[in-house]
Amino acid sequence: MPGMGDDTGTEPGAHDREGRDHAAQRIAAWAAQGHALAIGDDEVFVVDRPADGPEVAPPLLVLHGYPTSSIDWDEVVPALGADRRVVLLDLVGCGLSSKPDRAYSLFGQADVVEAVAAELGLGLVDLATHDMGDSVGGELLARSLEGNLGFEVRRRVLTNGSIYLDLAQLTDGQKFLASLPDERIADDAAPDVDLLEAALIATLAPAGSPASDPAPAAVRAAAVLTARDRGNTLLARLIRYIAERREHEGRWTGAIESHPSPLTIVWGDLDPIAVWAMTDRLVERRPDAARHRLEGVGHYPMVEAPEAFAEAARSGL
């Protein structure tokens, strides 16, 4: 859940002009791989990618974070999908999905995931989650423990997200957005694409980190899709999930800790928000979990170090 505000310390759009030039192509290529599913009153963008070869494992269901979208996983999908089907979706309010002006809840987002899984006939899955997707995944796991989930989770990969809010280092931008009323931000007050890009960059590993070298187009594309269809004006509505996850941490983090499916933790150790210490606590409470430390990587390991991330994730799946 990267920070949004004018305190990032990075000149908007300065990451690399290449990002501006190629982001549109990247978005078009990603959009061409997916389709929209009608879920209730919303259109949910879904990428349902078949395995490259014989399927030897259950489908992988992927949940992205706030405020970005499934395109974050673009560079790692080929490796993750070498021998399995991979299903990714943009949660409502994000990416290429509908962006209605309404109150948002992670319970509702979990309902969307369940509905997509039902539409696609998913029965047994492996689950990979990031950031806000960790909390949506926590609700799915809680439903599984209660016997109320419409599919079964075999294995899990968990990556950088504030699963323990008392350890999270929220940015000033995040705190500011969370302090706003739960309503659409005026267009002239909402962060533009350049500011969104700068905020995303501020959550990555510091410049010069040898293990983190995100493609400029990937960062720019994430910002463009966040702002698409006035999504930038919904950031204060979407960030309500922080308060909601604080209220339901016992349920969601408890399910992450206790669900019997094997757990693999893949974490960028320079994440300035979801800090490495969170994994220490999780391993204490789930000692059988496998943990992979991606050194010199920040909040978006699948963007910053796709090869290392994919290798670690595959080892757990």
CA dist 1 and 168 (Å) reads 10
Average of per-residue pLDDT across 109-121: 98
In the chain the domains, ranked by start, together with CATH numbers, are 17-316 (3.40.50.1820)
pLDDT digits (tens, 9 = 90+) for 258-312: 999 999 999 999 999 999 999 999 999 999 999 999 999 999 999 999 999 999 9
CA dist 251 and 140 (Å) reads 10
Does pLDDT of 17 surpass 70?
A: no
The residue whose two tokens read 């969370």 is 178
Tokens of 283: 């391993």
CA dist 137 and 158 (Å) reads 9
315 within 8 A of 219, measured Cβ to Cβ: no
Does pLDDT of 31 surpass 60?
A: yes
- High-pLDDT (> 70) share of the chain, %: 94
pLDDT recorded at residue 302: 98
pLDDT recorded at residue 213: 82
pLDDT recorded at residue 14: 46
